[in-house]
Amino acid sequence: MVNTIFNFIYLLSLVVWIGSIVFFSFFVAPVVFKTLEREKAGELVGIIFPRYYKLGYVCGTLILLSFLVSGAEGIGLKWCAWGIMILASVLAGVGVNPKAKLLKEKIKSASEEDKPGLEAKFKSLHSLSVKLNAVTLFSGLWLLGLTTSNYQI
């Protein structure tokens, strides 16, 4: 019974995490940037980001808890996929995102002379954030594939 509950929590957490990445990256962000002016779109996405990362941390923690309850037996590469997911998500959410947010604030009050350099730094951080998001997504899909490799409907 306990294993069934934690299997459910594990699967739900994994698909919610993957689904949130897909929904935000391929639906929410493009629509927001297409609909709103660039600065307003950036502000809105900046408000969403902390919740987005928090959802990933909660899902990642529940996945870890499920692994620990079910025992290390048979998990193997799942640990690796989960570790990459959580590492990339934490790096983006705790490392890159706050720095990018600070840079955006500096750009608003910067002189015209300083703006190009700050904008280049922001673009670099944004690119890193996108790459970390992709790593999280593909690691999640890998974890889902490992999970379903011996799953029967």
Tens of pLDDT, residues 22-50: 999 999 999 999 999 999 999 999 999 99
Taking the complete model, does pTM exceed 0.85, yes or no? yes
b/e map 110-120, b = 16+ CB within 10 Å: eeeeeeeebee
Other CB atoms within 10 A of residue 102 CB: 12
Q: What is the pLDDT of residues 101-142, one digit of tens each?
A: 999 999 989 899 998 999 999 999 999 999 999 999 999 999
Sign of the Cα torsion 140, 142, 143, 145 reads positive
Residue 141 has φ and ψ, to the nearest 5°, of -65, -35
Band the pLDDT of 76: cuts 50, 70, 90: confident
Q: Which distant-in-sequence residues (6+ apart) come within 8 Å of 32 by Cβ?
A: 41, 44, 45
